[in-house]
Amino acid sequence: MEDTSPYIKDISSAEFQQEVLLRSREVPVLVDFWAEWCGPCKTLSPLLERITQEAGGRFELAKVDVDANQDLSAQFRIQSIPTVVAIRHGKEVDRFSGALPEASILAFIDGVMPSELDLMVDEARTALVAGDNTAAEHMLRQVLDQKPDHQEAGTSLAALLIDKGETEEAMIVLGKLIPDADVERLQSAARLRGSAGIDLTELEAAVRADPSDGNAQLELARALAAHAEYEPALDRMLDVVRNNGDLKEEARLAMVDIFGVLGSDHPLTVTYRRQLANALY
């Protein structure tokens, strides 16, 4: 299949991050999983291409040959083809399988296009990039006034609030959203950020005065984490897990919060998750 417009591309695994996930932050991308031997694909693909051309850039079409890109098929759990997956802001928002009629495809596309509220969130994010946090916050609050569980507006506002130290409101905002990976990461960040205002000098003095005081150790560890000093924070939390039975679970959860902020592949997460498992079991 040849590309027929600037809005239609054949995509390989190597190009997927740039051409689909990153591109979907600007316009929605429909990913058509197909194969040369698939009869229904030969019916659906030309129809998708024509609809994409007629849309004039409202969305883009990425065509993925499942035989040549089996890793992508596995990643998206493609069980039959053709399957079309709609991606916005790097995430799947909907999908369908089979050679649907044109009216059904158009209805599907209408369902995944950005709403007026979605466009307001995009405008708010543009303001954030430009450094106008006040305007961004105002727009995000307007969106959430109309739809309190708007996922992108909620996570964007929560991130702003956490940066400002308003962690309690951030947790309220996040509590209204679907608990996906972004929400969980921000909840972890909010819990850690809550200790940012505590005086490190006083906490360090309390620990020196009584090194066996698990509460003081844990408070110092949280404050260190709030200042992004993750490794010494994890060291102290791990020590509490090992030596303070009553505080073991609290310290474990604090370590999990740091893992959530750093990400599962971060070297500190990998190292300390293993040490935490050894300490617990």
d(CA 236, CA 41): 57
Kindly list the distances between the CA atom of residue 106 and the CA atoms of 13, 47, 102, 103, in Å, as whole numbers in the listed order: 27, 11, 6, 5
> β-pairing, 8-10 with 29-34?
unpaired
Give me the residue label for tokens 């293993």: 274
- Coil, helix or strand at residue 77: coil
Q: Name the pairing type of β-strands 29-34 and 60-65.
A: parallel
Tokens 């969980």 locate to 184
H/E/C letters for each residue in 223-256? HHHHCCCHHHHHHHHHHHHHHCHHHHHHHHHHHH
Output DSSP code: residue 157: H
What DSSP assignment string belongs to 4-35? -STTEEE--HHHHIIIIIIGGGTS-EEEEEE-
In the residue annotation, 107 being an active-site residue is answered as no
Other Cβ atoms less than 10 A from the Cβ of 145: the count is 10
List, in order, residues 6 or more apart from 184 with CB less than 8 Å away. 260
Instruction: Establish whether 250 is a catalytic residue.
Output: no
Please pick, among 11, 20, 30, 38, the residue that the annotation labels catalytic. 38
Active-site pick, 30, 31, 41, 226: 41
Known catalytic residues are 38, 41
